Amino acid sequence: MRAERRNSRYLPDAPLPDGLVVTSDLDTAVRGADVVLIVVPSHAFRQTLEAVRDAGGQPRIAWATKGFELDTGLLPHKVAAEVLGGERPTAVLSGPTFAGEVAAGLPTALTIASEREDYADELSRALSTENLRPYTSTDIIGVEVGGATKNVFAIGAGLCDGLGFGANTRIALVTRALAETTRLGVALGARRETFMGLAGIGDLVLTCTDDQSRNRRFGLALARGVPAEQALAEIGQVVEGYYAARSTRRVAERLGVEMPIVEQIYRVLYEAVEPRDAAATLMRRPIGSESR
C-alpha cells in the first residue's frame, strides 16, 4: 500500500491523498496525534484500543467499528471506557456509508455521536467535505446499537431475496427489524428517535437492499445452498453479521428483549435450520400489536 499509494485489495480505484502517510507501525501512526480514528472489525477493537493506549499520549478517540464485543456483549463505547477510562473524549462514526462510494466522492451523509457535544461538533467540521455531510448526536448508545444489529438483518434480507420471497417480504423484514433494533436500543438506554435517523433506519435499509453489502451477499449465498464457511471464504472480508447474530441474541436474552428475526437468523447460521422453515416460524407467530 505504501508503494502503490492505494488499497489495491479493497479500493483499487481510490488513490490515497498526497498528504497521507502510510505506516504499519502503530506507535508511529499515533505519536503526537490529537485524534485517533479506529476502523477495525469489532473482534479487533479492544486489542487496537489497548495498543493505542500503550503507545502513550492522550489522544481523543473515535471509531467506525460496529458491533457488540463477542465475548462480553459490550458496545464499543463501553469497551473504550474499560480500556481507556472514562475521562478521554470518545465518539463513534456510523450510518449508511459504503466505502467504495465514499472513496469515489459520491454524496454521503453519516452520524457522529459523542456524549460530549463539542467533540462531535469538532469532528463533524473536520470530516465535512463537499460530498461528505456529517450530522451530530449525543446518543452514542442508539447510534452503536443501530450499527451492531443491521448486519444481522442484512443476512436475513439476502436469504429472503435469494429464496425468491419478493419485495413484500423484504420490506416486512426491514420494518420489523427496525422494531427489534429499537426495542433493544431502548432497553440499553438509547433514545427511540435515534433509530429513525441515518444510523438507524438509514444504515438498515442500505445494508439490506444493496448488493455492495457483504452481509446481504452472504445471505444470498446461503439461499443458494452454499455452506456458511464456503460463503465466508468467497466473500473474502469479515462478514460482521455472522458473528453479530450470536452476540446480539445473547444481549437480547440477557435483557429479556424479544427479537424473533434475530433468533431465526441465529438458528439458520448456528443450528442448521432451513431458511424456509425459519421464515415459516416467523409467519406462524401469534398475532399481536405492531407497536410491540
Residue 109 CB contacts under 8 Å (≥ 6 apart), including other chains: 95, 96, 132, 133, 134, 135, 198, 202
Residue with cell 502503490: 4
Is 150 an annotated catalytic residue?
yes
- Report yes or no: 32 and 55 within 8 Å, Cβ to Cβ: no
Catalytic residue among 46, 150, 214, 217: 150
Rounded distance, CA 283 to CA 280, Å?
A: 5
Around 117, how many Cα atoms within 13 Å sit in the side-chain half-sphere? Answer: 2
Rounded distance, CA 249 to CA 143, Å?
A: 18
Rounded distance, CA 258 to CA 109, Å?
A: 31
Instruction: Let me know if 199 is exposed, middle or buried by CB neighbors in 10 A (0-12, 13-18, 19+).
Output: buried
Rounded distance, CA 52 to CA 82, Å?
A: 14
Rounded distance, CA 246 to CA 30, Å?
A: 33
Taking alpha carbons only, the member of 20, 97, 31 closest to residue 58 is: 31
Rounded distance, CA 107 to CA 132, Å?
A: 6
Q: List active site positions.
A: 150
